[in-house]
Amino acid sequence: MENSFYISTPIYYVNDVPHIGHAYTTLACDALARYKRVRGYDVFFLTGTDEHGQKVEKAALANGETPLELADRVVPRFQALWEKLNVENTDFIRTTQQRHQKGVQKMFLQLKEQGDIFLGTYEDWYCTPCETFWTETNLIDGCCPDCGRPTEKLQEESYFFRMSKYQTQLLNHIEANPDFIQPRSRRNEVLNFVREGLRDLSISRTSFSWGIKVPGDEKHVLYVWFDALSNYITALGYPDDEKGNFAKFWPADVHVIGKDILRFHAVYWPTFLLAAGLPLPKKVFAHGWWTVEGKKMSKSLQNVVEPNMLVEKYGVDAIRYFLLREVPFGLDGDFSHSSLINRINSDLANDLGNLVSRSTAMVSKYFDSVLPAPQASTEADTALIEVCRDRMDAVDQHMDALAFNKALASIWEIISAANRYIDSNAPWTLAKDENQHARLGTVMYNLIETIRLVGLCIEPFMPDTGAKIKDILGLCAAEKLKNSGEWGLLKPGSHICKAPPLFPRIELD
């Protein structure tokens, strides 16, 4: 529906506790969801947990608990982290919920009744950690080509989905919709995979029991990906849609995922939907992976970056900013404490923090904290206003492309322009000359107005800082880009507080 926007994160496995990789996906979605909201969209932002499958069952067993006990213990850790990171999701789906199970079973039955699901025998090489079957030719020295761990030969009765039947339709869709799979390099990967030919997909298991039962044949549980992918529609109320969310929000505007789960989202999921006669998501965007200080993040290396610790040490907004600024969305990146601290000191403390504290201190000192009215403009003024307009347009375009780092870079160009504007107009010199009082007022107005716009633009990325800036300028929280994104809306006469430092500098030890 026009003016609605549906964005999703993957649902996270509960056999792991949340780390920086999970936080990355969720924060990117949150920033985009918030951006769309301040632009006036009705946003549905979904996240949740993936709780079935052999991996979870094994982890629970090893821990001496039932899979549901494990899930019930881990789910609050994800939810608490999202709260701590200021994530404003609309809903949180758990695949063990009734609403989800019902929707998945309904989809299974529909596909079975129409002949797209049939009973057969499955034999292949199975990688348990990845929950993936591989053909002999896929294996590397007998091991899983994804994770390198040993695979085992499994044969079992299984329900199959006629994925092969939808190969041409999927290929046509990908070719006709160049933005469907992003970034481009990922799209090419998927195209090559589909062109090689799609096999029918085994979508049930009898070798373990922790999953959604196959309706009418309960020794089978559904393959965890058939179960998990459906969350994107069951959370909207499919198939009953009592609240009308499915009609309003489907198809999704974007599924944001990591590059490792692209095939599931760009091949399996669309073919399930084609079979069910449902529209395909408008976009699947696969982001890159974070390494840590140059190394793959792993439990065995004990280098897993724990987001709670980062927030306590550096603050929420610094983390939100860093993750989305440091690396182009779609590429891999490296996390290091020194690059985080550099960003905090240079971009946040220096550029943004100084702009706000210098400007507000001068309004306090020269105008008793009352915002003066702007008078005649000079070329320098119109140039600053032009930078604001131009870069704000750029932010819009970059957000549409999920180019978060470019959006932030554009906002920082405004900040740099404002800092240069201070230096070249030297308000402290103007203040010494009575005749320049009006000019000084204009300079101060332009600076504070620029800060207002910067505050509105950074709010989706750094909600606390955006709110602090509003407070300093005496604006109400409801001011948003949609209704207040134009130059010149700040009223002369407003009370401007002298701002405390927004981001203290951090010493590198």
Which stretches of the chain bind ligand MSP, using CB under 6 A? Answer: 10-13, 16, 21-22, 24-25, 50, 228-229, 231, 257-258, 260-261, 289-290, 297
Do 234 and 99 meet the contact criterion of CB atoms below 8 Å apart? yes
Residue number with CB closer to ligand MSP (22 or 452): 22
Residue number with CB closer to ligand MSP (11 or 117): 11
Q: How far is the CB of 293 from ligand MSP (least distance, A)?
A: 13
Residue number with CB closer to ligand MSP (11 or 506): 11
Q: How far is the CB of 128 from ligand MSP (least distance, A)?
A: 14
Do 152 and 161 meet the contact criterion of CB atoms below 8 Å apart? no
In order of 385, 386, 390, 431, the CA distances from 422 in angstroms are 14, 16, 20, 13
For residue 239, whether the previous peptide bond is cis, meaning omega lies within 30 degrees of 0, is: yes
Q: What are φ and ψ of residue 17, in 5° steps?
A: -95, 155
Q: How far is the CB of 382 from ligand MSP (least distance, A)?
A: 43
Q: What are φ and ψ of residue 127, in 5° steps?
A: -105, 110
Burial class from Cβ neighbours inside 10 Å (0-12, 13-18, 19+) for residue 159 reads buried
Token pair in block for residue 232: 């994107």
> What's the CA gap between 475 and 479, in Å, rounded?
7
Q: How far is the CB of 50 from ligand MSP (least distance, A)?
A: 3
How many whole angstroms from its chain centre is CA 434? Answer: 52
Residue number with CB closer to ligand MSP (46 or 457): 46
> What's the CA gap between 54 and 366, in Å, rounded?
68
Q: How far is the CB of 158 from ligand MSP (least distance, A)?
A: 20
Q: How far is the CB of 277 from ligand MSP (least distance, A)?
A: 20
State the residue for tokens 């904290």: 369
Residue number with CB closer to ligand MSP (228 or 430): 228
Q: How far is the CB of 327 from ligand MSP (least distance, A)?
A: 10
Q: How far is the CB of 226 from ligand MSP (least distance, A)?
A: 10
Q: How far is the CB of 168 from ligand MSP (least distance, A)?
A: 25
Nearest to 202 by CA among 265, 156, 244, 159: 159
Q: How far is the CB of 103 from ligand MSP (least distance, A)?
A: 13
Residue number with CB closer to ligand MSP (12 or 125): 12
Residue number with CB closer to ligand MSP (287 or 470): 287
Q: How far is the CB of 247 from ligand MSP (least distance, A)?
A: 22
Residue number with CB closer to ligand MSP (12 or 461): 12
Residue number with CB closer to ligand MSP (46 or 422): 46
> What's the CA gap between 316 and 308, in Å, rounded?
9
> What's the CA gap between 397 and 95, in Å, rounded?
35
Q: What are φ and ψ of residue 227, in 5° steps?
A: -65, -55
Residue number with CB closer to ligand MSP (256 or 456): 256
> What's the CA gap between 161 and 117, in Å, rounded?
5
In sequence order, the β-bridge partners of residue 287 are 258
In sequence order, the β-bridge partners of residue 152 are 126
Look up residue 42 and give its DSSP letter: E
Residue number with CB closer to ligand MSP (252 or 297): 297
Q: Which residue is nearest to ligand MSP (CB)?
A: 258
> What's the CA gap between 504 and 509, in Å, rounded?
15
Q: What is the DSSP string of 448-495?
A: HHHHHHHHHHHTTT-HHHHHHHHHHTT--TT--HHHH-STT-SPTT-B
Residues 412-431 as b/e (b if ≥16 CB within 10 A, e otherwise) read: bbbbebbbebbeebebeebb
